[in-house]
Structure 1
Amino acid sequence: MTAFLGAIGAKLADRWVTALLGPGLLFLGAVALAARLGQTHALSARRLAHWLDALAAQPAARSTGAVLVAAAGVLIGSAAAGLAATAAGNAVRRLWNLPGRRLPWSLLRAWRRRRWFAADEAVKAAAREYDAAPHSAARHAAPHSAARHAVAARRATDRRDAVCLVEPDRPTWIADRLRAAAERVRTTYGFGLDSAWPHLWSLASEPLRADVAAAQDAYERAALLFGWSLLYLVLAPWWWPALLIAAVTAATAWTKARTAADTVAVLVETTVDLHLRDLADRLGLAAGEPVTARTGALIAARLAKHRPLDA
């Protein structure tokens, strides 16, 4: 048990250093540059070199106690910055998943819905064109025309799905992607993930659970990275390169968050597809029957502690 707790402690320490302490030291370096160089001389290597030389010439630089105190101050400052970035990242995650019923999020939600419905109309138009193309023998005589209509329909569908896989109802792509997974499960199997997910998770294989956990961790790390971008944004009024750092960091974090959210959604649907039959068997429902919406309804009723629907 001691060895196990020691290993856990070592992993937590490594993760703390990687996620908070290292980025915190970089941020403190940016704060120091902002304080010494300012906006006018933001990239002046000469001023930076003079300042470092002056620090090295200070008597305190040759004092072990002063160096230790300074090092402790740097570590405390970097830890404080890491905690601030973590708090900002948690707030960002909540913002990414807001329902979008109030301003300004309702405007983003309405904009996304307009984009999706416009793309959906394009899908329907492409489908009509494909259906109106020559059929049977005439279509075989003009295969290139049929293929062109099929490609157009596929591209129109891809453009619509790039907005959302189902009709959007959230202000952000991430929130709608996670919601789409639950909606697709509800449409296919007739039950909600809220009540069934803990049971499905307990039946999932270890490799699948590890993949889901890794994707969730990647999503959280992306939100933390976005939190760091907000800290650099706060620094920008005193040091303009911080604005560039904030922009690049935020764009990277958003891209990583989208990728992680998509992976989480795919893996959640995979877990349902692979283990819904196992859950039905464990609950003694619809034995030997194919997995259908009726199976999902029976599972939902059992998990809600209602009377099964087969009577």
Structure 2
Amino acid sequence: MIEGLWENIGQALAKEWTARMLTPAFAFWGGGLLAWAFRYGWGDLAAWWSARSALEQAALLVGGLLLVAFSAVVMEQFQDRLLWWAEGYGPRPLERLRFALARRWEKKAQQMEERWQELAEKCEGHPEKLSPQERAEYARLDALRLRLPVDPGRMMPTLLGNLLRAAEEHAWVRYGLEAGVCWPRLWFLLPKDVREEIAAARSRLNETTRWFGWGLLFVVWTVWAWWAAPVGLLIAGLAWQGMTRAALVYGDLVRAALDLYHPLLFEHLGWPKPKGPEDGRRLTEYLARGIRPPSL
């Protein structure tokens, strides 16, 4: 995994701080206040607040803002772990469930490939031979099958995990480059606008991951209001869809950057222009362990 490389890449401090203050931690605590009022009513809260002095009210407001900011920072620090779980990784006691779900994706991918082959043979390279429904299915399957891991044995338990796994393995399958070793080096060679686009896509993935976490946490307010559970689960569900879309865009950008710029890595290290995956594997071995082929 190359998660550590992306922490706060390309993010301006002021912009991030504003986002933390206004979304979504503020919504979480504001929703908690609404849930409390739903249970106990606004009257007691208004009476208690009006009994405070101006100085106490100011201190409470500042304390509330600090609580919102602190909780947002905690969630940001936790987002990588949350994304890791969403991909399908997890604690050892859940490994059996993880592998069972991964096997389901293996079977699903195989069924998708068989159906795609069936439609491809039917249209013979001319999609107009298919019905509108079949064309839509063919396009959907064609797009998704190219974004799943090539090796069925490397399937993850979730679609999100498979999209990110496929983006990571692209460098190895196509060019013999291990992403965890080579991508951090290549990152510094990418043009500025390319880095900004990839960083923005990663930022969107992180943002939707945080919304997913806040949505799950919102369920705790059910102790005061029955509607907190459906609202929290709705937010988490929408955020999950956003995570999947963001992972799709992020993976496409990473693959595009590798396709276009991976020769730069060979060039800047003084290696010959790559002719195939074997050259990439030798470069990976050199970067990871310092083992350089005698011919270089």
TM-score using structure 2 length: 0.78
Q: How does 1:221-260 map to 2 (within 5 A)?
A: 221-260=207-246
Deviations 1:183-211 (A, max 9, x none): 23222212222221122112110001111
Distance, in Å, in 2 between the alignment partners of 1:88 and 1:191 is 29
Query: In the alignment, does 2:62 pair up with 1:79?
Result: no
SS at match of 1:284: coil
For residues 221-268 of structure 1, give each alpha carbon's deviation from its aligned partner in whole angstroms, at most 9, with x where no partner exists.
111111111221111232122223212321232122112212221222
User: What is the rounded CA distance, in whole Å, between the counterparts of 1:160 and 1:236 in structure 2?
Assistant: 43
Partner residue, 1:292: 276
CA positional deviation for 1:297 = 3.4
Q: Give me the whole-angstrom Cα distance separating, in 2, the residues matched to 1:229 and 1:158.
A: 29
Count, aligned residues: 278
**Counterpart residue number, 1:139:** none
CA distance in 1, matches of 2:294, 2:262: 17
Distance 1:84 1:231, change over 3 A: farther
8 A contact 2:119–2:134 mirrored in 1: yes
Paired letter, 2:112: A
TM-aligned CA distance change 1:91 to 1:203, over 3 Å = closer
Report what 1:303 is aligned to: 287
Change (3 A) 1:285 1:25: closer
Amino acid at match of 1:113: E
Amino acid at match of 2:28: F
Q: 1:55 to 1:271 in 2, by over 3 A?
A: same
Structure 2: 5+ residue runs without aligned partners? 1-11
**Alpha-carbon distance between aligned partners in 1 of 2:176 and 2:280, rounded to the nearest angstrom:** 5
Which of 147, 152, 172 aligns to 2:158? It is 172
Question: Residue 95 in 1 paired to residue 79 in 2?
Answer: no
1:129 to 1:72, Cα distance in 2 relative to 1, 3 A: closer
Q: Structure 1: how far apart are the matches of 2:265 and 2:183?
A: 10
Rounded to whole Å, the distance in 1 between the matches of 2:57 and 2:231 is 30
Identify if the C-alpha distance between structure 1 residues 13 and 279 changes in structure 2 by more than 3 Å, giving closer, same or farther.
closer
Once the two structures are superposed, the pairs formed by residues 44-83 of structure 1 within 5 Å of their partners are 47-48=41-42, 50=43, 54-55=47-48, 58-60=50-52, 63-83=53-73
User: Is the Cα contact below 8 Å between 1:129 and 1:149 reproduced in 2?
Assistant: no
Partner of 1:122: 115
Question: What's the counterpart of residue 16 of structure 1?
Answer: 17
Asked which structure has the greater CA Rg, the reply is 1
> Which aligned segments of 4 or more residues in structure 1 are displaced greater than 6 angstroms?
none
Which amino acid counterpart does residue 249 of structure 1 have in structure 2? I
Q: 1:89 to 1:239 in 2, by over 3 A?
A: farther
Q: Which of 128, 136, 140 does residue 158 from structure 1 map onto? A: 140
CA-atom RMSD in angstroms: 3.4
CA distance in 2, matches of 1:292, 1:158: 30
Q: Paired residue for 1:266?
A: 252
Contact preservation (8 Å) 1:200, 1:276: yes
Question: Identity, % of aligned pairs?
Answer: 23
Contact map agreement 1:200 1:271 (CA 8 A) in 2: no
**Could you say what secondary structure the match of 1:77 adopts?**
helix
Distance 1:203 1:270 in 2: 14
Partner of 1:5: none
CA drift at 1:27: 2.5
Does 1:34 find its partner at 2:16?
no
In 2, are the aligned partners of 1:24 and 1:81 still within 8 Å (CA)? yes
1:152 offset after TM fit, Å?
4.6
